[in-house]
Chains A and B, each alone.
Chain A
Amino acid sequence: MSESGITYLTDVVLITCVVMHGRGDDAVKVAREAGVAGAIVYNARGHGARERLGLLGVAVEAEKDVVSMVVATEQRDLVMHSLYTQLGLDRPGAGMVYAVPMDKMATYIPADVLQRLQPGVA
């Protein structure tokens, strides 16, 4: 592999999970157990259900944790299913999870892995 070479990872999907503030770490844990390598947690403020529920809206926290992670296409449904069920996203106001198709990504790939997958190149 040359110094300036780049290895793209393809067949990737971006899954983003929006949960109430404080539960972002739970989402990361669930994703990790479903085989996701890593995730990023952002803090954000959400609007929607809280305004439309009237007084019940106080039960919906406006402060959100946005957890986004890149997964393989084959992992997509398992990860979404795990997040949806284990974080209780089937409850009103609990949050949401969505998947966005991605073209490709690149990051550091351990030399051993690279050698195993592309013996000719490395």
Chain B
Amino acid sequence: MNTSRYRYADYLRAGGASRQHISLNQLVPHLERGADGRPLPYTPPKLHLRANEVLRLLQPYISLRFMDQLRAVLPLALYLALFQLLILRQLVAEPWLVTAGMFAVIVGLMLFMEGLKLGLMPFGTVIGEQLPRKLALPFVLLITLLLGIGVTFAEPAIGALKMAGQLVSVEQAPYLYALLNQWSGTLVLVIGASVGLAAVVGTLRFLHGWSLKPLIYISLLLVMLPTLYMAADPQLVTVLGLAWDAGAVTTGPVTVPLVLALGVGISLAAGKGGGGLSGFGIVTLASLFPVAGVLFLGLYVASVQTPAEIVEAVRLAAASSQAGEAVWYTHSPGLDIISGVRAILPLVVFLFLVLSFVLRERLKHQSEIFLGIGLAILGMCVFNLGLTYGLSALGNSAGAMVPGAFMAVDNVATSPLYNYGVGLVLALAFAWFLGFGATIAEPALSALGMTAEELTNGVFKKKTLILAVSIGVACGIALGLAKLIFNLPLVWLLVGTYALAALLTMLSNEAFVNVAWDSAGVTTGPVTVPLVLAMGLGFSHATHAVEGFGILCLASVGPIITVLISGLWSRCTSAREVRAAAKAPQASSLETLEDMV
């Protein structure tokens, strides 16, 4: 066969593909010279792009970030919608509104994340690096505490807690209703203060190299005692689910990086960094302390108000709001926007004050930072809108319809759709796969897996961790659903699972304990939390349970147990291998001895 070879350049030239050459000499600026004949420093002018060039610049930038969020949201949304359509044979109520809401969630998260990166993270790094060097430790810890409050307000999932309050019936659970409505500001403040306190304790742990285990035992004691006390009171027991879920809500995309930046900065400044385990522990404490905070707040509310007073106050408020014209910022679109602004601005103002008055620093690229803050606020508002119309609505309707698989509920016409056993298995399988799917795609988990692999010198594989955490969350959510179906007492589930976790903690070594307890915090992102919360509430509404909280906290303790178990198992197998390897040469030397004899 006669093949001819051409150079590609010749082919292009012959084919007339457009190629031009321009000398770079034509593009370089002409330098001005000073009086002494030396060239003056040149400042390049701002580049001006045409409209279509701006479009081409922004298109990949936006589509990349959009796809990131789409990948996180779409599979979950599709799973929920298809489950309703195929298994329950029900249409999602108001499909267009929900779709628009989910779109708003994606766009909102995209804007918020980018705003976080551009506008808030630069503060975090500068403050984390500079603050511990310029101030005495007590002041640094005070600022850490305040930062904890600020970041909690800015956490997107916190909005979901407040939204959940509107679905609670005041007659059945007056204290829960009071905490989520009249006291909701205080509630977030208490959760924030607990996160701040956790950050302080976690930072002290870095500084002094404390082991995480005793801290875990102490905090468990701190949360278990009020839990047991409140479980005995039929009015207060309704608050338990909220309190334990609050821990899962706090550790999101704002809190973790900002608080960690400060904590790691402090330990670096003290020359105590470098240890592989620094950075761990804050997340664990930040998911346990808020539980105690909310429990104590519940006790306080119970001491100042009786259930009858709360019900009366709500009736009065309802009557007065019906009489007067509702103001625009007290109902949906306006409220979402106001709460978005209120979430971000305090944190930004606080960071700005610390930076300019305490550190006397100015940030570079100020306009970029202002853009970032603007994006974060805009993103938060859009996300809140999406939360109301998309995530909450979808989760709520899924939760309300799933029981139709095995029992008669009002909103599913032909329910029960399947016989009791099959329907029950379907409902639990639905919850299990929801948890598994939502977790395995979590980007924070992949990062944690990498750290875990490095910490344990490869004994604990990244894939093992991701699988263990996903299975843990899946089982936790299924258990949570079972709790709602059979009306199991949450307190005994919590005592049982946390006792098991504590026992496994005693048996495990420090590295596994750090990874396992932190894995509970990273799994609950801004999409999963509202979805699961709304699902639980919808479910409880359909099954006429008093409250639907408690799924999230079981989803947090699940991975602790599975990760600790798989850690122990991998240690056992590697120890067995080592023993087998040690035994083999001994046996052979014995044989040689026998041969010699």
* Contacts from A to B (Cβ < 8 Å): 49, 51-60, 74-78, 81, 88, 91-94
Contacts and interface: CB of A to CB of B under 8 A. Distances in A.
26 contacts: A53-B57, A54-B46, A54-B367, A55-B367, A55-B368, A56-B49, A56-B54, A57-B368, A58-B61, A58-B118, A58-B371, A58-B372, A59-B57, A59-B61, A60-B57, A74-B8, A76-B9, A77-B7, A77-B8, A77-B9, A81-B12, A91-B59, A91-B60, A92-B49, A92-B57, A94-B60
A84 to B, nearest CB: 11
A57 B49 CA distance: 11
Contacts, number: 52
Interface string B56-76: 111111000000000000000
A60 to B, nearest CB: 8
Given A52-B44, A52-B46, A78 B118 contact: no
Nearest to B49: A92
Contacts of A77: 7-9, 12
Contacts of B9: 76-77
Interface in B89-108: none
Interface residues of B, number: 23
A21 B45 CA distance: 26
Contacts of A52: 44-47
B595 interface: no
A81 B371 CA distance: 36
Contacts of A76: 9
Contacts of B12: 77, 81
B57 A55 contact: no
Contacts of A49: 47
A53 B47 contact: yes
A91 B12 CA distance: 22
Given A77-B8, A81-B12, A56 B57 contact: yes
Interface string B34-60: 000000000011110100011011111
Contacts of A53: 46-47, 49, 57
Nearest to B54: A56
Given A49-B47, A53-B47, A91 B368 contact: no
Nearest to A88: B60
B8 A81 contact: yes
A60 B64 CA distance: 12
A91 B57 contact: yes
CB-based closest 5 A-B pairs: A59-B61, A78-B8, A77-B9, A92-B57, A52-B47
A56 B59 CA distance: 12
Given A58-B371, A74-B7, 16 more contacts: A52-B45, A52-B46, A52-B47, A53-B47, A53-B49, A55-B367, A55-B368, A57-B368, A58-B118, A58-B368, A59-B61, A74-B8, A77-B12, A81-B8, A91-B60, A92-B56
Interface of B: 7-9, 12, 44-47, 49, 53-54, 56-61, 114, 118, 367-368, 371-372
A94 B46 CA distance: 18
Nearest to B5: A74
B213 to A, nearest CB: 37
A31 to B, nearest CB: 14
Nearest to A54: B46
Q: Which of B57, B59, B60, B118 has the most CB of A within 10 A?
A: B57
A111 to B, nearest CB: 25
A53 B368 CA distance: 11
B443 to A, nearest CB: 13
A93 B57 contact: yes
B53 A92 contact: yes
Nearest to A77: B9
A92 to B, nearest CB: 4
A54 B367 CA distance: 8
Nearest to A52: B47
Contacts of A74: 7-8
A59 B368 CA distance: 11
A57 B56 CA distance: 13
Contacts of A51: 44
A55 B46 CA distance: 11
Contacts of A88: 60
Contacts of B367: 54-55
A94 B58 CA distance: 10
A53 B12 CA distance: 34
A21 B452 CA distance: 24
A53 B48 CA distance: 7
A77 B8 CA distance: 6
A60 B61 CA distance: 8
Contacts of A54: 46, 367
B478 to A, nearest CB: 36
B46 A59 contact: no
Contacts of B371: 55, 58
A74 B114 CA distance: 43
A56 B47 CA distance: 10
Q: Which of B8, B49, B367, B368 has the most CB of A within 10 A?
A: B8
A98 B371 CA distance: 34
Nearest to B62: A59
B7 to A, nearest CB: 5
A61 to B, nearest CB: 8
B491 to A, nearest CB: 47
Nearest to B368: A58
A57 B58 CA distance: 10
A122 to B, nearest CB: 25
Contacts of B61: 58-59
A56 B114 CA distance: 13
A76 B8 CA distance: 8
A74 B11 CA distance: 11
Given A59-B57, A92-B57, A75 B8 contact: yes
A77 B15 CA distance: 14
A59 B47 contact: no
A104 to B, nearest CB: 20
A57 B45 CA distance: 14
A75 B7 CA distance: 8
A91 B8 contact: no
Contacts of A55: 367-368, 371
A88 B64 CA distance: 14
Contacts of B57: 53, 56, 59-60, 91-93
Nearest to B10: A77
A22 to B, nearest CB: 9
